[in-house]
Amino acid sequence: MLLNISFHFDYFPLMVVMAVAWFTPMLLSWINLRKVPSVIVEILLGFVIGHYFIEFDEHSLEILRFLALSGFVFLMFLSGLEIDMDQIIASLPRKQLTTASYLSNPLLIGISHFLLAMVLSYIAAWWLSGMTAIGNVWYFSLIMVTTSVGIILPVLKNRGEIHSRFGQMLIIAAAVADIFSILLFTFTASILKNGFHWDLLLIVALFVVFYLFYLAGQKLKHIPALKRITYQLSHAASQINIRSILLLILIFVVIAQYIGEEVILLGAFLSGLLLSAFLHRGRSLAMIKLDGMGYGFFIPIFFIMVGYEFDPSAFSEFKNSLVFFLMALLVVLFLIKLIPSMLWVRLFGFRQAVSGGFLMSSRLSLIIAASAIGLQLGVISPGINASFVMMAAVTCLLSPTLFNLLSPVKKLEGSKTIIIGGSSTGVLLSRRMHLHAKKVLIVEKDPARFREIKNKGLWVIQGDGLDKVLYDKIKLSPENYVVVECGSDEINSAVSKLLRKEFLHEKIITRSGSLKVEAKLKQHGVEAVDSRRVMATTIENLIVRPATYHDLVESFENFSLDEIQVSNSEMDGRQVKTIPFHNDAILMIIKRGNNSYIPHGETYLRKGDILHVFGTDTALEDTRKKVTG
């Protein structure tokens, strides 16, 4: 017998936990509370089941605790993955620092925000120690200074502000808080456990491993044979990309485990940070699969078990001061983020700066993890640990709500893509545009189809594309692209002509089923897409250049193609070879008027040229700043 499998394992406890994990989002959707973080309900339901319905035996608990720990590791990995290293690198100051450049630099403001919050947190921890016994004031202050990128990113993404200046300020400030918090936690926990010992150097060695893996990854990703094999094995049963990522996580976790249990948090986080340097999270198929593994299985187990093992009797240590302590702790958790957010007043105004401070006050996984480690080390009492778990739930609920109240989103204004017609093509386009973090509005005439699209969670309004009042209602502006996909050439043509004649709108794209219709639309200045030609070109690419097609069309793992117009007067008349383009940007084509050129080092740029640039998001942003001024 090659494998000895025991069938005596009791799957009932795992079934109960997964039933809770399945039921939670269904419940939130059913009662229309989709904006409430599901982890809060998972913790609550885990507590209810554990204290009022089922008590698992010790053997089952050990297995569930192992799966919960795996979920915790996965959560830290995904936390590291949420951080866009390209954005942080792009924010490094490259010019002489002035007050104006300092206030507008997201990285420098993010660091200043964290340092000021750290000082305030330490002062507040001393104040709170007068109400209850705090074993270690420094460690307590570290717990309070945490934030949650995992809450901030979805809120900004849903509002369409993820690429705005304000959004980038918040994201990088949260990323800096995450990175510094985890570093300080790790070193503090190690010192509390072992004292000042040479073992601390092993934590530094973990960063050396991180750097070596980064260098190796930079070399390996350019080897054609490896790229070919990886692509061939990335689907079906092999799933080599996912296996590689899981191996990477475990390498860092195992190395961290040998250094010390308190370092596992840092190891998992660093593996995510390393991967974020190589993969564009928003467009990567691998990231979708990892989210499915993490949030579909491991991570819910972690939060449900947090609730299951939550002990409300721990609050008894506060005696009669519990309510006062919890209220004081909640106020402090908000103030230590609100006060540093005044750094944003000059750029965004008082109201928006305060709203950003409230969003930065959201806390989730890090505060729970850090408190649990403190409890294990004996520097956090059970009552304080229970208080922090409760505060994680409260801030997750209050922070996004207060942020949206103080800074209501002007959803219809600004840059957006408008799709007239809720066909399956329009819905698919909307979902693909969301992968690029673009705002998309679908206009659908049929009431039943409108409700169907709305239930999918997409932004849709009911209206007729031939109704002139509609375009005032949706605040059509010249920068908005309008995609007309109403199901027939006649209606597509009528809507497109209305937009051109009545509103003089220029950015119109529609589908044509014949060359005759396409020619008429182009006469009116409408970009018409011949569906037959697109299909033929797609099949041609799949036959002639399949690897290139999949890299550019399906996954967009690392790179994007963008059109950037030269508007900087300093670029007018300069040769390409004299312009310090980003290392990860390739200038492919220069379009000048009706002519296109393949550029060389001797090619001169002219103001008004449209550059077709291929590269990473950071490289494209760097190029955009150079050529647009």
Q: Is the pLDDT of residue 20 over 50?
A: yes
Q: Is the pLDDT of residue 590 over 60?
A: yes
Q: Is the pLDDT of residue 247 over 90?
A: yes
Confidence at residue 352, expressed as pLDDT on a 0 to 100 scale:
92
Asked whether the CA dihedral 35, 172, 186, 189 is positive or negative, the reply is negative
Global pTM reads 0.71
SS (H, E, C) 467-489: CHHHHHHCCCCCCCEEEECCCCH
**3-state secondary structure at position 188:** helix
Compute the distance between CA of residue 60 and CA of residue 65 in angstroms, rounded to an integer: 9
Cβ atoms of 396 and 39 within 8 Å: the answer is yes
What DSSP character marks residue 421? Answer: S
Task: Tell how strand 595-597 and strand 527-530 pair up.
Answer: unpaired
Confidence at residue 200, expressed as pLDDT on a 0 to 100 scale:
77
Cβ atoms of 75 and 294 within 8 Å: the answer is yes
Compute the distance between CA of residue 481 and CA of residue 188 in angstroms, rounded to an integer: 52
Q: For residue 276, give the nearest of 140, 113, 123, 79 by alpha carbon.
A: 79
CATH topology of domain 559-628: Alpha-Beta Plaits (3.30.70)
CB within 8 A of 396, min separation 6: which ones? 37, 39, 40, 148, 151, 362, 363, 364
CATH topology of domain 417-538: Rossmann fold (3.40.50)
Compute the distance between CA of residue 328 and CA of residue 308 in angstroms, rounded to an integer: 26
Longest dimension (CA), the chain: 83
The pLDDT confidence band at residue 150, using thresholds 50, 70 and 90, is confident
Q: Is the pLDDT of residue 281 over 50?
A: no
Compute the distance between CA of residue 361 and CA of residue 111 in angstroms, rounded to an integer: 16
Whole-number percent of the chain with pLDDT over 90: 22
The residue with tokens 């240590």 is 317
Say yes or no: do domains 12-406 and 559-628 share a fold: no
Compute the distance between CA of residue 135 and CA of residue 189 in angstroms, rounded to an integer: 13
Average pLDDT (345-374) is 89
Confidence at residue 283, expressed as pLDDT on a 0 to 100 scale:
47
Q: For residue 17, give the nearest of 75, 67, 74 by alpha carbon.
A: 67
Q: Is the pLDDT of residue 412 over 70?
A: no
**3-state secondary structure at position 612:** strand
At 483, which helix (H) or strand (E)? strand 481-484
Compute the distance between CA of residue 266 and CA of residue 287 in angstroms, rounded to an integer: 20
Confidence at residue 240, expressed as pLDDT on a 0 to 100 scale:
81
Highest-scoring range by mean pLDDT, 117-131, 195-209, 540-554: 117-131
Nearest 5°: CA angle at 94, between 91 and 97? 95
The pLDDT confidence band at residue 305, using thresholds 50, 70 and 90, is very high
Residue boundaries of the structural domains of the chain: 12-406, 417-538, 559-628
Q: At what angle do helices 137-144 and 322-338 cross, to 10 degrees?
A: 60
At 508, which helix (H) or strand (E)? strand 508-512
At 530, which helix (H) or strand (E)? strand 527-530
Token pair for 492: 């597509």
The pLDDT confidence band at residue 25, using thresholds 50, 70 and 90, is confident
Compute the distance between CA of residue 19 and CA of residue 499 in angstroms, rounded to an integer: 51
In this structure, the chain runs to a length of 629
Cα 44 versus chain centre, distance: 25
Q: Is the pLDDT of residue 488 over 60?
A: yes
Neighbours of 176 (CB within 10 A): 24
In the chain, the amino acid numbered 70 is S
Compute the distance between CA of residue 609 and CA of residue 617 in angstroms, rounded to an integer: 21
Q: Is the pLDDT of residue 198 over 80?
A: no
The pLDDT confidence band at residue 608, using thresholds 50, 70 and 90, is confident
The pLDDT confidence band at residue 56, using thresholds 50, 70 and 90, is confident
Give the Å distances, CA to CA, from 141 to 264, 336, 530.
21, 10, 62
Average pLDDT (525-540) is 79
**3-state secondary structure at position 420:** strand
Q: Which CATH number applies to 12-406: 3.30.1360.120, 1.25.40.10, 3.30.230.10, 1.20.1530.20?
A: 1.20.1530.20
Token pair for 439: 């705002």
Confidence at residue 282, expressed as pLDDT on a 0 to 100 scale:
44
The residue with tokens 């995904």 is 78
The pLDDT confidence band at residue 463, using thresholds 50, 70 and 90, is very high
Query: Model confidence over 413-440: pLDDT tens digits?
Result: 667 899 999 888 888 888 878 766 678 8
Confidence at residue 280, expressed as pLDDT on a 0 to 100 scale:
56
Q: Is the pLDDT of residue 443 over 90?
A: yes
Least confident of 285-294, 373-382, 606-615: 285-294
Q: At what angle do helices 200-220 and 165-194 cross, to 10 degrees?
A: 140
Beta bridge partners of residue 595, listed in sequence order = 592
